[in-house]
Structure 1
Amino acid sequence: MKSHLPANPSKGAYALLFRRYGYGVPDLQRARRSASNALTLIVQDEITPYGLSEKTGGDVHKELRLFELPWPVEELRKLGSALVTLRVTLSSFVAPNPSEASRGSRYRYASHNLRFKLNRAGENVQQFLARITRLAEPVDGPPNEEDDSWTFGSTRRDVGSLHIDQLTCRASDLARRNLLAVHPVAGWWKNKKLLEKTLPMVRFALIIEIDASELETKLYTEVATSITALAKAQIIVG
């Protein structure tokens, strides 16, 4: 599949692969592999993407979901400068706009549009949220491309209702990138008249995968332990 790519592919070079293979072909060997050096986190949640401003009464982006992921920090630090791969999938069902005029419009065809963002190494919560705000996309405006070492990039990723991208970076850097946000951009539900009647809620799913390939590490074990401890703590509090 990757033989169709040039030696040093740009983000745009992946367009041919998407037309032929979508986001890839099934790998039976990988599917059967159960290893401690690979990790998958699954999140299912809801978000109210749009609402009305208390100050102006106009339609605004209402909610953002910020996840502090249970990350295998210690194991990633042990790997140091070794390369690992992070893969993120965001899925949500959208309602198409019944208006003929909306066809071909990036932001008016879908009822809502969601995006995901990952914090950079060394970027705290306040800096991360400020960056997301700056990257809010205007209606029908060009996408904001960020050079965060993502393989496909936002131009390819932020199309439709299934968004998938991956990045390969040093394990020590990924250890500091455990903040992931899901936030809305424009959609045809972002309409004052509609929002005066109801505030639609949207369900979405996130899949976050870390793969250390052939490296000897226990990513899964560290996260499984922390999740178990968290679950026990939540039961005690409840």
Structure 2
Amino acid sequence: MSNKKPANVKNSTGNYGTNAAENWLQNLDKEFFQRHSSKFMVVAVIIALGIFGFNQYSQHQKAQSALFNEKMGQAYNFVYENKSDSASQVLAEIITQSKGLNLAKASLLLGNIKFQSNDFVAAQNLYQQSVNAAGKSVLIASAAEHGLAAAAMEQKNYDLATRLLENFVRKYGKRSGNLQERYSENEKADISVMVPDALWKLTLCYNEMQKTDLAKAKAEHLVKVYADSRLAVNARKFLATL
């Protein structure tokens, strides 16, 4: 039997042993790449297209954001100049082209314009649209929820208004009125600055509904927890009439 070693199992040093398969592996790598190089090229192209697509999408998003900010700026300028019709036209256009937080912002501002013009039904619809689109934006959502309650009040739908306002206070009101906690700076802060206003609106609604005990309770809550609020002055005056 021949003792000659096959040439194709020599390692890189020309010896046989534990590295004897090195050349074979190298040949296998070459052969594998030759067989599958087209697949690697396809993967590379897919990755490149993915990066290109992401960059294009990112640029598109930036362009859309810039356009939104420009149009919202126009709307704010019209509001500042008391040109409500022009502002409404711009905002209506934004709303048809937007979604998510941008939709929520535009709907909120247009809702405010409709509210100021006493179109409370339109305002209510826009506020609800803003709430639905606001997502995790507490600032926008809370403002729209407060607007919903105010629109219900203006339509004398006090049942709806009180439900919305009670929910608003539970959801966003975190202050306890505990003076010890306040002086030690351990009192929780409200999530929305409009909680005192919501309490005052509740006082007015319950008073209109002739639910004096509830109106009194809300006024007392306002005075106790928000004594530093200007609305606490109104609440004290109201309590003095009972």
TM-score (norm 1): 0.21
Where relative contact order (Cα < 8 A, 6+ residues apart) is larger, the structure is 1
TM-score (norm 2): 0.20
